[in-house]
Amino acid sequence: MEDSPKRTLDALDIQALLAYLPHRYPFLLVDRIVDIDGDRSAVGVKNVTANEPHFQGHFPGQPLMPGVLMIEGMAQTAGAICMAAMERKSRAVVYFMTIDQAKFRKPVVPGDTLRYHMQQLRRRRNIWKFYGEAQVDGEKVAEAVISAMMADDPRAP
């Protein structure tokens, strides 16, 4: 029997993400998780739209999704994996710790659908490490190795 059962397609819709992650608009950069395999992997989806605030300045007349926001979307997808695997919501928070080997390969523009493919590399106690790829139409547009730490939420009663 598996210790981390595979979650169903609708297990992490936007309402579940809002319960697991502290982020809110305009900084919630994942719309849903379409596949989650326990604490091992997940695919997050972000529909990139022209009305997002960062496109006003990045860059006027030629809007491009900032690479740092793609990395943040990967981190949020990984954070949702951690929270779902631990089945914790309001009593815990996931802190972004490191970004390594980040590469940006192609521009992402309004109308694209980003898919964040996250794969756990390692977990030691409350520290998690993931490899992530951001893809548009199956083509890699960014990648990075990130780590995060799960801790008690200081705002929890």
What amino acid positions are annotated as catalytic residues? 58
Beta bridge partners of 129: 122, 147
Report the alpha-carbon distance of residue 75 to residue 146 in Å, rounded.
7
Residue type, 125: R
Decide if 73 is inside a domain. yes
Rg (CA), the chain: 15
- Calculate ∠ Cα 118-122-123, nearest 5°: 105
62 part of a folded domain: yes
Structural domains counted in the chain: 1
Residue 152 confidence (pLDDT)? 86
Question: Could you tell me the pTM of the whole model?
Answer: 0.89
Per-residue pLDDT at 19:
86
Check residue 98 and give its pLDDT: 97
Indicate whether 157 belongs to any domain: no
Measured distance between the N- and C-terminal CA atoms of the chain, rounded to whole angstroms: 35
Residue 5 has pLDDT above 50, yes or no: no
64 is a domain residue: yes
Summarised one tens digit per residue, pLDDT across range 27-57 is 999 999 988 888 899 999 999 999 999 999 9
When pLDDT is cut at 50, 70 and 90, the band that residue 83 belongs to is confident
- Domain carrying residue 13: 6-152
Concatenated DSSP letters of 92-157: EEEEEEEEEEEEE-S---TT-EEEEEEEEEEEETTEEEEEEEEEETTEEEEEEEEEEEEEE-TT--
Q: What is the CATH number of the domain that holds 27?
A: 3.10.129.10
- Is 1 inside any structural domain? no
At 87-143, the pLDDT tens digits run 755 578 889 999 999 999 999 999 999 999 999 999 999 999 999 999 999 999 999
- Residue among 144, 70, 58 at smallest CA distance from 103: 144
Domain-embedded: residue 56 = yes
Residue 31 lies in a domain: yes
